[in-house]
């Protein structure tokens, strides 16, 4: 089904095919319109929020490579983007490669968006990598399980947003967690890998390469939920608090990946750990922008509009003016979430906090909606982009979010789960 808005001729505009029209992808769709593009959106949801900003809309799955290719050919598109979602990244590369449009190599994107393939690539190229192996079933994993040192992580090979991710300590937990992982895997495959203990905060953030060179990166500190899934980031802060020496080591390892995979021009979202011996572990390098307002926070902190550069890259426009910019000030994003399931009744934000610290906020649920405790990014209730006047101000307020932001669930006011509780012993050095 197609929706074409208006009768005006748009032949002079560049046609940009955007895979996905969800709420998390609206910022890229709006930015592309601001930049004067003719917007074509694909989504399986006929009521996708991005539909209202599109010149044309098609009810096609973003993972259906052949269907998207057929559409792209028929429309003579100038570029293709899947913003903030791993699922459509291989489709983007596949279609672009077939049509001679700007993108990264398809095989390289496949490696980066499949945990099984990425671990194999890392091992073959002498990166620091946890012992890992992919499986199709619990029975397969059970036979091999004794080869791993506990604890281990169980992950779907092809999901994002921490969906289906678990940490286990023994064989007794394996079957339940494998079943959970497989629920979120389109290929019905999962990976087991040994757990890496962090030295310092978990590292997130976004970057951008031009002709394969990492010209911009803005690392962040990520802190996790203490709810149903303790591997869902709920607070992200800038600037990154580890030393420049550590940042340069991380930069070097990322660049090695980009060189080996012959990556081109485009955005990346990082998921990285550093151990106590300063060994860098690249958990994921997703070939797309980050979600949960990461690019927006990066722009506030550095002035660099990564969404704009993502669109320019997709259209083959010059991105050579992009340079490294260090963040200024203190910034954070907060994933509004509940520590229990129930009926949502409202949100209360402390007035002074709202006035002085909340730059942007968005609620994704309405009163009387059913909500669940946070098991993955798909169950977030909203987002906040925050600013602070000092490191101590940021530390104090983020450590007391239960007093500043409250949910009304089932007619009772409950405090949001606080990720910092899992790091109480390190509170003095969190930010």
Pairing of strands 330-336, 266-274: unpaired
Residue 399 has pLDDT above 70, yes or no: yes
What residue has token string 């929020």?
49
Q: What band does 378 get if pLDDT is binned at 50, 70 and 90? A: confident
414 by Cβ neighbours in 10 Å (0-12 / 13-18 / 19+) ranks as middle
Print burial letters for 339-354: b (CB count within 10 Å at least 16), e (below 16).
bbebebbebebbeebe
What residue has token string 């994704």?
364
Q: What would the two tokens of residue 333 be?
A: 């994003």
Per-residue pLDDT at 258 = 98
Which DSSP symbol is given to 414?
E
Q: What band does 428 get if pLDDT is binned at 50, 70 and 90? A: very low
113-144 confidence digits (pLDDT tens): 999 999 999 999 999 999 999 999 999 999 99
For the chain, the farthest-separated pair of C-alpha atoms sits apart, in whole angstroms, at 65
110 by Cβ neighbours in 10 Å (0-12 / 13-18 / 19+) ranks as middle
Q: What band does 163 get if pLDDT is binned at 50, 70 and 90? A: confident
Compute the average pLDDT of residues 86-103.
97
Edge-to-edge strands, sheet with 280-286: 280-286, 266-274, 202-210, 213-224, 233-238, 330-336, 382-388, 358-363
Compute the average pLDDT of residues 145-170.
93
Compute the average pLDDT of residues 312-337.
97
What mean pLDDT, rounded, does the chain reach?
A: 92
Per-residue pLDDT at 11 = 65
Residue 1 has pLDDT above 90, yes or no: no
Q: What band does 421 get if pLDDT is binned at 50, 70 and 90? A: very low
Report how far apart, in Å, the C-alpha atoms of 261 and of each of 102, 177, 223, 311 are: 16, 32, 30, 22
Beta bridge partners of 191: 134, 155
Q: What band does 419 get if pLDDT is binned at 50, 70 and 90? A: very low
Helix, strand, coil % over all residues of the chain, rounded to 5: 35, 25, 40
Cβ atoms 384, 358 nearer than 8 A: yes
Percent of the chain's residues with pLDDT above 90:
85
Structure-model confidence comparison of residues 87 and 375, the more confident one: 87
Cβ atoms 56, 4 nearer than 8 A: yes
Q: What would the two tokens of residue 3 be?
A: 């929706």
Residue 3 has pLDDT above 80, yes or no: no
Q: How far apart are CA 288 and CA 292, in angstroms?
A: 13
Per-residue pLDDT at 424 = 35
Percent of the chain's residues with pLDDT above 70:
92
What residue has token string 């420049």?
244
Q: What would the two tokens of residue 422 be?
A: 């899992």
What dihedral do alpha carbons 365, 370, 375, 379 form, nearest 10°?
-20
Per-residue pLDDT at 416 = 52
Q: How far apart are CA 401 and CA 419, in angstroms?
A: 10
Q: What band does 339 get if pLDDT is binned at 50, 70 and 90? A: confident
Residue 174 has pLDDT above 70, yes or no: yes
Which DSSP symbol is given to 345?
E
Record the pTM.
0.91
Omega before 151 within 30 of 0, i.e. cis: yes
Q: How far apart are CA 74 and CA 392, in angstroms?
A: 56
Window from 84-93, 125-134, 335-344 with minimum mean pLDDT: 335-344
Pairing of strands 370-371, 342-349: antiparallel
Q: What band does 210 get if pLDDT is binned at 50, 70 and 90? A: very high
DSSP codes joined into one string, 239-297: S--S-HHHHHHHHHHHHHHHHHTT--SEEEEEEEEE-TT--EEEEEEESS--STTHHHH
User: In residues, how long is the chain?
Assistant: 431
Q: What band does 49 get if pLDDT is binned at 50, 70 and 90? A: very high
Q: How far apart are CA 264 and CA 214, in angstroms?
A: 10
Dihedral sign for Cα atoms in the order 153, 157, 158, 164: negative
Per-residue pLDDT at 8 = 53
Per-residue pLDDT at 44 = 97
Per-residue pLDDT at 217 = 98
Per-residue pLDDT at 226 = 72
Omega before 344 within 30 of 0, i.e. cis: no
Per-residue pLDDT at 5 = 52
Cβ atoms 288, 314 nearer than 8 A: no
Structure-model confidence comparison of residues 9 and 320, the more confident one: 320
Per-residue pLDDT at 373 = 86
Compute the average pLDDT of residues 70-77.
98
């Amino acid at each position: 089904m197609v929706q074409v808005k208006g009768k005006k001729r748009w032949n002079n505009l560049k046609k940009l095919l955007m895979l996905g029209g969800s709420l998390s992808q609206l910022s890229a769709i709006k930015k592309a319109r601001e930049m004067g593009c003719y917007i074509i959106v694909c989504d399986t949801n006929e009521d996708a929020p991005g539909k209202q900003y599109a010149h044309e809309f098609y009810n096609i799955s973003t993972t259906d490579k052949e269907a998207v290719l057929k559409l792209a050919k028929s429309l003579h598109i100038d570029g293709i983007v899947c913003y903030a979602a791993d699922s459509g990244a291989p489709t983007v590369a596949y279609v672009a490669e077939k049509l001679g449009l700007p993108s990264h190599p398809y095989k390289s994107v496949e490696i980066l968006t499949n945990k099984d393939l990425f671990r194999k690539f890392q091992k073959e190229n002498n990166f620091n990598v946890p012992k890992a192996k992919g499986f199709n079933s619990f029975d397969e994993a059970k036979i091999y399980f004794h080869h791993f040192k506990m604890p281990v992580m169980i992950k779907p090979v092809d999901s994002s947003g921490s969906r289906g991710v678990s940490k286990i300590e023994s064989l007794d937990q394996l079957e339940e967690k494998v079943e959970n992982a497989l629920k979120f895997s389109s290929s019905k495959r999962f990976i087991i890998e040994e757990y890496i203990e962090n030295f310092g905060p978990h590292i997130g953030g976004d970057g951008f390469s031009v002709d394969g060179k990492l010209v911009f990166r803005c690392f962040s500190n990520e802190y996790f939920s203490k709810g149903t899934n303790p591997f869902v980031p709920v607070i992200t802060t800038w600037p990154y608090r580890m030393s420049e020496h550590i940042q340069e080591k991380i930069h070097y390892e990322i660049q090695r990946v980009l060189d080996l995979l012959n990556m081109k021009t485009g955005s990346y979202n990082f998921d990285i750990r550093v151990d106590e011996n300063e060994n860098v572990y690249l958990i994921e390098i997703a070939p797309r922008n980050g979600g949960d307002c990461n690019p927006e926070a990066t722009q506030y902190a550095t002035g660099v509009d990564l969404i704009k550069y993502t669109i320019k890259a997709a259209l083959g426009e010059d991105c050579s003016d992009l340079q490294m910019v260090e963040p200024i000030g203190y910034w954070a994003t907060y994933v509004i979430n509940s520590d229990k399931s129930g009926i949502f009744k409202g949100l209360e934000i402390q007035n002074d906090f709202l006035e002085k610290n909340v730059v942007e906020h968005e609620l994704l649920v309405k009163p009387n909606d059913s909500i669940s405790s946070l098991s993955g990014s798909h169950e977030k209730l909203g987002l906040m982009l925050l600013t602070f006047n000092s490191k101590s101000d940021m530390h104090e307020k983020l450590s007391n979010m239960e007093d500043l932001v409250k949910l009304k669930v089932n007619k009772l006011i409950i405090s949001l789960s606080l990720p910092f509780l899992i790091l109480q012993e390190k509170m003095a050095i969190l930010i």
